[in-house]
Amino acid sequence: MQMGVEVNPVAEPVSAETRRTLRKLDRIEPIPGKVEGAGPVFAFTHNSNAAFHAVNDILAAGGKVSFAKTENAVYVSGSAAVLQKNGIDATSAKEIPAASWTVKQPRIALYEPWGGNIVTGWTRWLFEQYRFPFTRVHNADLQDGHLSDHYDTIVFAEMGTRQIMDGMAPGSVPGQYAGGIGETGAQALRDFVTQGGTLITLGNATLFALDEFNLALTNVLQGVPQTQFFCSGSLLRVELKDANHPVVAGLPASPAIMFERNPAFDTKQGFRGRILASYVKDRSPLLSGFLLGADRIEGKAAAIDADYGKGHIVMLAFRPQWRGQSHGTYKFLFNALYYNPSMAAEAPARGEGGGRGGGNPQQAAWRREAESVKADLTKLLDQNRTYFTARGPRAAEEGKKLEDQLDAFQRDRLPLLDDLRAQVEDGALVRTDAAFSAQLTRFAIDLRTKDLSASKLEDLLDQYKLTVVP
């Protein structure tokens, strides 16, 4: 079931006549792909995991790859020998259809916490087996920011929010290995997704996305005791809810997923995105293993594509690559690695924050004020430029104007943000709002003392992490 193999039980012993027709195989030769025609373009389906191995081989060799928009098909211009070697059955086509997405090799980052994580190790192994180039990143790499300059997709394998955010305690390990990504790393990830990046979270790492991106979702299993719900290493049935979504291409309508003490989600008002797969409704999703409290997850979301700014957070709340054995659900992860905003369906209009704070009137009020305060920075930067380019007695006059404007800004405008933040009840939002206010204060201080006359406001907003209001 884990491997996506159709299983038919045999209730009766195999007859003697049938046994006589069987022969022992001493060696298994891989079956080469059957490629029909001479190209120049070949078409095949996403249905096999080997299709992704072939796609990566073709991209590495400089070939062209496209995913069809309206059918489960991959179109490539490359050597037929690559397809045959990977066991891919393909047919010749004259050209790549216009209704397709051009696919490039994604720049993938795989987060590794200091101290090790066995599921991250299995994920690395899987990427290596299927020829996905990737970079291993640690806390400092994320905290340095500007992630969009280096990566298209960032992956967090199964791990808890505390391990990601806090890491190992100071004093328990040498200093460079202590701590997690912290608020600085989390904000860098928010910036990355807002600017169009794809964040993939697996298993319980989806709770990190829920908390730190303040998504309009609820973990229906939060706080439920083991006496009411328990499932640790069982196969459950899910149903695809959006069969045309690129992340589920090539998957059967009802895949078997590995569930091991993972969350399940329900949407709240303000949610922006799509449910990709849900546990079957009105009956137990159990296929193999033990499940207590099945009714708590029936019909609840197991896989989600959440919109956030210009980017997406793919949340696979199960183990798609469990110990390198869940071959039947690899495609959830593999498809997500290529997924980018150009493939996404048209979504309703949304603010720059990608839904952060949706359905929260206190946060909405804070955000409106933050947008207004941010607009004041244009006038302050203009005065900074005027002061630092002035000469003689005029410089002193312009300097006094700059001081007065900054005094008023810090005395009258910034405290309003603090007052509104005090009314926000969501702890994750409060932390993010406070970080934004701190960056505003830092920018104001630097406007007093630093010559920023040669800088553009857009560049400064990016430097001070003020481009996007939470």
For 221-269, write each residue's pLDDT tens digit. 999 999 999 999 999 999 999 888 999 999 998 999 999 999 999 998 8
pLDDT of residue 369: 82
- Residue indicated by tokens 């309508």: 253
pLDDT of residue 148: 93
Q: Return contacts of 70-76, CB within 8 angstroms, 24+ apart.
A: 70/99, 70/244, 72/45, 72/46, 72/47, 72/249, 72/250, 73/43, 73/44, 73/45, 73/46, 74/43, 74/44, 74/45, 74/46, 75/41, 75/42, 75/43, 75/100, 76/41, 76/42, 76/43, 76/44
- Best CA proximity match to 143, nearest among 173, 103, 109, 188: 188
Q: Is 287 exposed, middle or buried (0-12, 13-18, 19+ CB in 10 A)?
A: middle
Which residues of the chain carry a pLDDT beneath 70? 346-361, 427-428
pLDDT of residue 353: 38
Question: Which value, in Å, is the radius of gyration of the alpha carbons in the chain?
Answer: 26
31-102 folds as Alpha-Beta Plaits (3.30.70)
389 backbone φψ class: left, alpha, beta (φ>0; ψ -120 to 50): alpha
Q: Tell me if residue 199 falls in helix, strand or coil.
A: strand
Dist. CA 446–CA 443, nearest whole Å: 5
pLDDT of residue 360: 63
Q: Tell me if residue 368 falls in helix, strand or coil.
A: helix
Superfamily of domain 108-343: Class I glutamine amidotransferase (GATase) domain (3.40.50.880)
The token duo for 184 is 């600085």
pLDDT of residue 350: 35
3-35: b or e for each residue (b if 16 or more CB lie within 10 Å)? ebeeeeeeeeeeeeeeeeeeeeeeeeeeeebeb
| H-assigned helices in 24-160 | 50-60, 80-85, 118-129, 139-143
- The interaxial angle of helices 414-421 and 361-389, nearest 10 deg, is 160
Dist. CA 200–CA 131, nearest whole Å: 18
pLDDT of residue 355: 39
Dist. CA 461–CA 374, nearest whole Å: 9
For 335-344, write each residue's pLDDT tens digit. 999 999 888 8
Cis check for the bond before 40: say yes or no (omega within 30 of 0): yes
- Best CA proximity match to 145, nearest among 189, 113, 199, 200: 189
Q: How far is CA 198 from CA 191, 274, 305, 318, 339, in A?
A: 11, 15, 10, 18, 7
For 99-109, write each residue's pLDDT tens digit. 889 999 999 99
pLDDT of residue 358: 41
- Best CA proximity match to 369, nearest among 440, 427, 459, 444: 440
